Structure 1
């Protein structure tokens, strides 16, 4: 189920997805040759997705379901999150898009609509553990 849709223009050819902590608690990953080849840089609580140099919108959907079997999986791991921020990296952490029930390690799968970074127009953030009916909002 779609939880939220965020259209945005990438900053510095990338999209920030993760916990929006600032200061000494910030955990923003650094780019290196390996992460550039993968198309993303990741830390314990953040993923930066490379989008290429574009001036048009990229749409990020946050869903509480597992991805389709034929989806292009860019990232799969757990992220330590208390809120979820989706934004250009130069605006972090302006607006959390999702407040999670508890700070925890959340299983996260990020899929995209293209295997080429410069062609990515849609990013899907899958948080399947949010489908738990025990959560207060019943997602």
Structure 2
């Protein structure tokens, strides 16, 4: 029979666990990217540069959206525009601040230079 102590312990565990979060952004890894595609996961490829003001504006927006439970399965891969030119070409990105979303193996959306939270949210929703 559950006791008050059990209920308090369960409540504390839920609070400590926090909200569901998307995976933290990780540097692009071809094997991890292909595995996420094979699993049919929603994927975001974020091409940015440390000097880019638009990229700096996008990061907290993406972090806030990633904290929402509906994006908990989103795999986020980052590519540095300056040092990973081969990957920039592979994804046919012409500039930094490029966001590309996949639903499994299919690219379902792309945005360049977007800083409006609701538009970035709409882009991520295409991958769900």
From the two aligned structures, give the one with the greater helix fraction: 2
From the two aligned structures, give the one with the greater strand fraction: 1
TM-score band, normalised by shorter chain: under 0.3
The normalised TM-score by structure 2 is 0.23
Larger-gyration structure (1/2): 2
The normalised TM-score by structure 1 is 0.22
